[in-house]
Amino acid sequence: MRNRRLLTLLTALIALFAATVAVPATAGAQRVVAIEGATQVADSLGFASGGVHLENGKAVVSVVDGVAERKVRAAGLTAKKVKRSFSALTAVKNELDKIKNVPQTAWGIDTSTNQVVVSIYDSATKATADRVTAAAAKYGDSVRVERRTGKLSLHIAGGEQISSSAGTNCSLGFNVTRDGQPFMLTAGHCTNAGGTWSGGDVTGAPVVASNSPGADTGLLARPNGTGPGQIVTGQRITSAAVPLVGQQIQSHGKTTGTRAGRILAVNQSVNTNVGVINNTFIAEIVTLPGDSGGPAYAGTRGLGTLSGGDDRVSFYYPLTLAMQAYRLRLA
């Protein structure tokens, strides 16, 4: 009888442990479905959409009118009424993109506040700061100006995960394929250094394509066959996804390892001292030289490759855009 009671208790404990372990995976899967559903609904709203962001892990669809609000709620999603559509915010951001030669500034769309957020670093010259501030003021409360300390820079030196024969050290982003052939995706400001690249099980990998500034993508051939479709931590990457404001993500690089943080803005234009990088997303993650080119991801979804940052945030080039530009598939 005593053995039977012990067996019953042990069985119950095993069931309880299994249920506890299964909950996060189930919740995570449900969250992915919810985000994808919210994005699809937002896209269907056209000019009535204010974009999608996350609040406490829950997808919120911003809308500009009652018709769109009812459509979102009918889909079982949370709607938030805002003044400006995502298209209107994009138009403002595109106008700001016409400002040239203003290093140490950046701007992008914050869908959580329904604004374009402009960042001006204290390392910018007074003339640059005044010029960008004046341009932002033309759009009233459509634009929020933030002052930041430090210097915005591209991360390129100091790591060792992948290294070029020219002496540049960066991090691998994602293993990819094109027409069945294996390649490695990293940052373009890394591959601009040229040479052949080595790291891990790869040696003598030539640069196939390098685009930076403008974009920030670099493609290396893989002489020794296809690499695994996963991060070095073992996390599988099975799809590429569009980043969302408020989304919690992870970033991995050779220098800092794995770090986590929240996305602050998307469709960001970053004015570095070596040129403008467009279409990036910025996250509350601190990275260091050598991390450049490393992956940003959320669970199994790849989001982008690291370009650079400051002492508080980092910016990434979207994986979806790199895959479209180079006609890639994930390994």
Catalytic residue annotation: 189, 216, 292
In sequence order, what DSSP letters do the residues of 79-146 get, joined into one string? Answer: EEE-SS-HHHHHHHHHHHTT--S--SEEEEEETTTTEEEEEEETTS-HHHHHHHHHHHHTTGGGEEEE
Distance separating alpha carbons of residues 97 and 108, to the nearest angstrom: 10
Distance, CA of 37 to CA of 31 (rounded, Å): 10
Contact yes or no for 160/136 (Cβ under 8 A): no
Phi, psi angles (nearest 5°) of residue 299: 65, -125
147: number of Cβ within 10 Å: 12
The amino acid present at 294, given as its one-letter code, is: G
Burial 43-59 (b: 16+ CB within 10 A, else e): eebeebbbbbbbeeeeb
> HSE of 263 in the Cβ direction (CA atoms, 13 Å)?
34
Helices assigned H by DSSP within 45-62? none
Residue 25 is given by DSSP the state H
Helices (H) and strands (E) in the chain, counts: 6, 22
Residue 119 sits at φ, ψ, to 5 deg, of -110, 130
* Residue 159 in tokens: 């790591």
